[in-house]
Amino acid sequence: MATGVSATKWNCERNPIARTSAGADVSVTLSYAGKKSVDEILCGLKAEVFKVWGAADDAVKMENRLYWGDNLSILRGMLNDERIHGKVKLVYIDPPYATNSVFQSREQKDAYADLLQGSHFVEFLRERLLVIRELLAPDGSIYVHLDDNMAFEIKMIMDEVFGKEHFQNWITRKKCSTKNTTRKRFGNIADYILFYTKSDEYIWNRPFDPWNEERIAEEYPYVDEKTGRRYKRVPVHAPGTRNGATGGPWRGMMPPKGKHWQYTPATLDELDANGEIYWSKNGNPRRKVFFDSGKGVPQQDIWLNYRDSINQNMVITGYPTEKNLAMLENIVAASSNPGDLVLDAFCGSGTTMQAAYNLDRRWIGIDREEEAICAVLKRFNIGSEKMGDFVTDKAGKSYKPHELLDERNFVQSLFGTCPFQFLVAEDKFDQAKADFKVKIPESAKRSVLSDIAKKAVDPAIKAASLAMLAKAGGVI
């Protein structure tokens, strides 16, 4: 909304205005070659997936899941799973941005290509958004992260898919530090997050930014002489004329022309008696609004504090377009509750899943690239590392997915506490078969089992591990 105060009635009779859109369909749609019908998209191929790793399926409870494969057919496959269809409370996606470039990881390995352009890009994303809409719970939300390449086109698509009335925010994020640009234009440090909800009734835990001394002094510049409390001064009148008490005099004074008092004279008297009215030298009243240190400042739609990989001490996975974990935690906390299901269909290094995990939400992540899958497995098994730290034996080391499903996870999976299931879709079957034919090396299996059998206190676990150890040809 513009910063001016809007009104509903146009008063000038000499120069009348007409509302031309009454009753007409005024929606704006984007048309382009190759735009498919909604049915065609929703009824397309559903992925066959097989589980490489993780706890046994539970008919009721949904384990966290990492999928390796193209997200469209995997998402469509979820339409058949009643634990997911209509149950996802929050989706965050950070898809390719149509940058026409390719990205490499910290180990200089190809991570992913971002080469789709124009209508091909728009339709690629629209297809996925349409399926995601079906998966979202009635009180669910979706956040789509983009930059200035395609944000405008995708805003129009989001309006079509989710309804313009469910648009909540166009968030501008400061993505990096100030640049010393040489191009003849302003430096580009912003990217954008489009926030929509499935309906008007949606989960919302309002985030607050903490106050700092500088900001308090700026916004609440006055100190009350009697109480020492900080306050700011705001008008006691508002635009528009009124016929009732708020349009009449208060203490012999009429509201300014074209305005009315914000409170009745009786309430204004009460405020004054409580020391909540400031009188200027000219006798003009203003309301004192006292600083309430409570929760902080409600967060606004410009985010300056979530830059990606800003210093050498920041811990990262090394995936090229890894997002700021605190930003994802902010989104997850605002638009979901503990236990809720969070989905990221372009998960990259798994920042969304880490945020969900940290905040006790369940998660589903999907990515089609091996580097991304490795980054997620590494994040959950080994953890992330300081950005500048290239000297540890872990940093800069390349892994294959099977190397990252290490003994720790293996043990967890034996006893049903694996933090996630790892599923592979058919487009990755061949690659996965080659990678996973060994799964866990027998020697590692034997040593882990023998360790558990030795240390287990629970007799059931001891017996299970001994039985498995015997089957694997080992002894304590």
Ligand X SMILES: C[S@@+](CC[C@H](N)C(=O)[O-])C[C@H]1O[C@@H](n2cnc3c(N)ncnc32)[C@H](O)[C@@H]1O
Contacts with ligand X by CB under 6 A lie at 70-71, 94-96, 112, 319, 321-323, 346, 348-349, 351, 366-369, 372
Give the nearest distance from C-beta 367 to ligand X in angstroms. Answer: 4
| Contact in structure between 154 and 122 (CB atoms under 8 Å) | yes
Give the nearest distance from C-beta 312 to ligand X in angstroms. Answer: 19
Residue in the shown chain whose Cβ atom is closest to ligand X: 348
Give the nearest distance from C-beta 146 to ligand X in angstroms. Answer: 10
> Which helix (DSSP H) or strand (DSSP E) does residue 467 occupy?
helix 459-471
Of the two residues 119 and 262, which places its CB atom closer to ligand X in the complex? 119
Of the two residues 45 and 56, which places its CB atom closer to ligand X in the complex? 45
Give the nearest distance from C-beta 181 to ligand X in angstroms. Answer: 23
Of the two residues 268 and 353, which places its CB atom closer to ligand X in the complex? 353
Of the two residues 55 and 78, which places its CB atom closer to ligand X in the complex? 78
Of the two residues 63 and 369, which places its CB atom closer to ligand X in the complex? 369
Of the two residues 375 and 452, which places its CB atom closer to ligand X in the complex? 375
Q: Report d(CA 354, CA 339) in Å as an integer.
A: 14
| Contact in structure between 54 and 63 (CB atoms under 8 Å) | yes
Give the nearest distance from C-beta 241 to ligand X in angstroms. Answer: 52
- CA max distance for the chain: 98
Give the nearest distance from C-beta 113 to ligand X in angstroms. Answer: 8
Residue among 259, 262, 219 nearest 240 (CA):
259
Both structure tokens of 377:
């497995």
Of the two residues 47 and 414, which places its CB atom closer to ligand X in the complex? 47
Give the nearest distance from C-beta 413 to ligand X in angstroms. Answer: 24
Other Cβ atoms less than 10 A from the Cβ of 139: the count is: 18
Of the two residues 174 and 286, which places its CB atom closer to ligand X in the complex? 174
Give the nearest distance from C-beta 395 to ligand X in angstroms. Answer: 17
Both structure tokens of 295:
């929760």
